[in-house]
Amino acid sequence: MSLTNCRFYEDKYPEVDSYVMVNVKQIAEMGAYVKLLEYDNIDGMILLSELSRRRIRSIQKLIRIGRNEVVIVLRVDKEKGYIDLSKRRVSPEDVIKCEERYNKSKAVHSIMRHVAEATQTPLETLYQQIAWPLNRKYGHSHDAFKLSITNPDVWKDTEFHSEAVKNELQLYISKKLTPHPTKVRADVEVTCFGYDGIDAVKTALRTAEADNTPENQIKTLGIQMLGAAIERIAANIKAAGGNCSIKMAPKAVTEHDDAVLAELMEKRERENQEVSGDEDSESGDDE
């Protein structure tokens, strides 16, 4: 048994009419030769007639070597190892469902492979003892892994190969699947050109902090609260003769979004500095 290679699921072959993720390896006159990524890269074939509903003028425009594709299983000959597949019978909804399942299975496979290598345990042994039983019980072992972070009872019926496997698995699941904090952000522009404009803007912005407590740091509630806070800012600044305009409505953001925003703000700041410099040089020339 290998430490790194194993099929994702208990059955060695996919069922007829099931959707699977494949990687295109070769294009020939009869169709496309592929590897079934979820079944330890066993061979399959998408027949030419099953590539598209339309008349095929160029196979290369329909399918490319190296690309992953969602296909449906038409026939499985376990004795000869033939698996016939179809791309043309797959709907956009089928693609989404298959991609979601594949991504979850790939995440589980990454965790299982790490544990196998860290504890020198055959990968298929870990699947037999852990992932496949959890698939039967919870629908997908990925859901069970996430649940186990807060509910250790997930493991009560699991027979671990060793204590080292149990400890490494739980530690790595906690590291990989623990949800990261979600930020909620909105962009608003508050202006007030009255005599006490600066104080009015400060006062208006402080109203947004009224309900900002640790108990309220939940994404959906946070978005609602941020929307209400903006309404208070707008009402407060308008009462002082100012204005508040929403540049971006409240939404949940990731670390990547924050990085993009920071880069954009730095770019704007550089542009403003360049404009200011140009204006100074122009005024100097006029003088």
State the Cα angle at 166 between 113 and 164, rounded to 5°.
85
Mean pLDDT of 253-271: 67
- The pLDDT, as a whole number, for residue 107 is 95
CA atoms within 13 A on the CB side of 105: 21
Question: Using CB atoms within 10 A of its CB, is residue 31 exposed (0-12), middle (13-18) or buried (19+)?
Answer: buried
- Over residues 96-138, the pLDDT tens digits come to 999 999 999 999 999 999 999 999 999 999 999 999 999 999 9
- Whole-number pLDDT of residue 153: 94
DSSP string, 28-49: -SSEEEEEEGGGTTEEEEEEGG
Query: What domains appear along the chain, each with residue ranges and CATH number?
Result: 19-90 (2.40.50.140), 95-177 (1.10.150.190), 183-273 (3.30.70.1130)
| Stretch 67-90: mean pLDDT | 95
CA dist 171 and 110 (Å) reads 14
Place 287 in a pLDDT band, splitting at 50, 70 and 90: very low
pLDDT of 181-195, one tens digit each?
666 677 778 888 887
Helix (H, G, I), strand (E, B) or coil at 3: coil
Helix axes of 197-206 and 219-239: crossing angle, nearest 10 degrees: 150
204 confidence band (pLDDT: 50, 70, 90): confident
pLDDT at 68: 96
Segment 16-38 mean pLDDT: 95
pLDDT at position 22 over 60 = yes
H/E stretch holding 135 reads helix 132-138
Provide the pLDDT for residue 273. 64
Beta bridge mates, 244? 190
Global pTM reads 0.64
Q: Which token pair is 217?
A: 């740091």
Express each pLDDT in 31-63 by its tens digit: 899 999 999 999 999 998 898 877 766 676 778
